């Protein structure tokens, strides 16, 4: 069994109250986390200076796909690299994946991407591999919103204790951690108040069904019980 797992989080324009909650949670758990940044925030400096955290970029190419902007993909990448110049890993919003984006990312100095989501339930053995551009491709097998939509949620134990040496990368979102989201219905009810932190509390899951926050807490517990190490993602391309 692979005794190292990795935790990543897509910021997805979370308001600062939600993001502060997430930072406090992972600090308490002492978890190394790679935050994929979407936007400027006063909290960026805290993330940047924290020894447990790594920063990547999370560019949004949906406006180009929907004809809502005159910007091309390189301009979007340039804006994001200006915001997070130290970033060496990229995951695109909505997992938009295209060869020109991968090639441009490598040309701009990125070492790796995490655009490939292949769920645990697929049973596929995941390994890093190198794209022809030179970019290291790092597939991941858990995404909190995708897991919430699966008919039969694979358990935390199944993910953490998978008996092979498969790459184990988990991805969460601050909003889903704050809401302890267990169904997309919960998230969709809260979504109109996404940027109004003081209005989100009534939508938090306090019930018996496991949500995203419960999942992360249980991950840490299982890791401690079984000697599983939480690694920094930069190990995967170093």
Domain layout of the chain by residue ranges: 4-53+112-236
Instruction: Look at residue 1 and tell me whether its pLDDT is greater than 80.
Output: no
The reported pLDDT for the residue numbered 79 is 97
Residue-wise pLDDT for 115-151, tens only, equals: 999 999 999 999 999 999 999 999 999 999 999 999 8
- Give the ranges where 43-92 is alpha helix by DSSP (H): 44-49, 62-65, 73-83
The reported pLDDT for the residue numbered 143 is 98
How many residues would you count in the chain? Answer: 238
Tokens for 221?
């517990």
Query: Pseudo-torsion of CA 62, 95, 56, 168, nearest 10°?
Result: 170
- Give the ranges where the chain is alpha helix by DSSP (H): 16-29, 44-49, 62-65, 73-83, 99-107, 144-149, 156-160, 174-179, 184-190, 212-226
Residue-wise pLDDT for 50-87, tens only, equals: 999 999 999 999 999 888 988 999 999 999 999 999 99
Instruction: Look at residue 224 and tell me whether its pLDDT is greater than 90.
Output: yes
Q: Measured between alpha carbons, how far apart are the two ends of the chain, in Å?
A: 22
Residue-wise pLDDT for 154-204, tens only, equals: 999 999 999 889 999 999 999 999 999 999 999 999 999 999 999 999 999
Average pLDDT of the residues of the chain = 96
The reported pLDDT for the residue numbered 238 is 85
Instruction: Look at residue 10 and tell me whether its pLDDT is greater than 80.
Output: yes
The reported pLDDT for the residue numbered 65 is 87
Q: Are 87 and 64 in contact (CB under 8 A)?
A: no
Which residues does residue 229 pair with via DSSP β-bridges, in sequence order? 4
CA 3 – CA 170 distance, rounded (Å):
14
Average of pLDDT values for 10-28?
Answer: 98
The reported pLDDT for the residue numbered 152 is 84
Burial of 174 (0-12, 13-18, 19+ CB in 10 A): buried
Report the b/e string of 130-167 with b at 16+ CB within 10 A. eeebebbbbbbbbbbbbbbeeeeeeebeebbebeeebb
Domain 4-53+112-236 adopts which CATH fold? TIM Barrel (3.20.20)
The secondary structure of residue 125, as a DSSP letter, is: P
The reported pLDDT for the residue numbered 2 is 79
The reported pLDDT for the residue numbered 70 is 85
Query: What is the per-residue DSSP string for 98-117?
Result: -HHHHHHHHHTT--EE---B
Which residues does residue 5 pair with via DSSP β-bridges, in sequence order? 230
Prediction pTM value: 0.97
């Amino acid at each position: 069994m692979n005794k190292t797992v990795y935790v990543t989080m897509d910021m997805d324009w979370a308001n600062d109250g939600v993001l502060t909650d997430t930072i406090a949670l992972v600090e308490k758990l002492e978890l190394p986390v790679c935050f994929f940044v979407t936007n400027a925030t006063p909290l960026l400096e805290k993330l940047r200076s924290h020894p447990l955290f790594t920063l990547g970029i999370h560019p949004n190419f949906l406006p180009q796909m929907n004809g809502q902007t005159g910007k091309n993909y390189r301009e979007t990448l340039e804006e994001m690299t200006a915001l997070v110049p130290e970033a060496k890993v990229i995951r695109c919003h909505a997992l938009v994946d295209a060869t020109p984006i991968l090639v441009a990312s490598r040309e701009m100095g990125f070492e790796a991407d995490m655009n490939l989501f292949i769920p645990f339930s697929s049973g596929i053995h995941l390994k890093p591999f190198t794209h022809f551009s030179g970019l290291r491709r790092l597939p991941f097998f858990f995404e909190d919103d995708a897991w919430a939509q699966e008919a039969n949620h694979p358990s935390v134990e199944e993910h953490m204790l998978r008996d092979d040496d498969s790459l184990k990368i988990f991805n969460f979102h601050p909003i889903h951690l704050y809401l302890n989201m267990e169904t997309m219905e919960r998230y969709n009810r809260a979504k109109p108040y996404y940027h109004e932190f003081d209005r989100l509390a009534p939508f938090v899951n306090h019930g018996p069904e496991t949500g995203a926050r419960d999942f992360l807490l249980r991950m840490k517990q299982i890791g401690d019980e079984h000697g599983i190490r939480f690694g920094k993602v930069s190990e995967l391309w170093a």
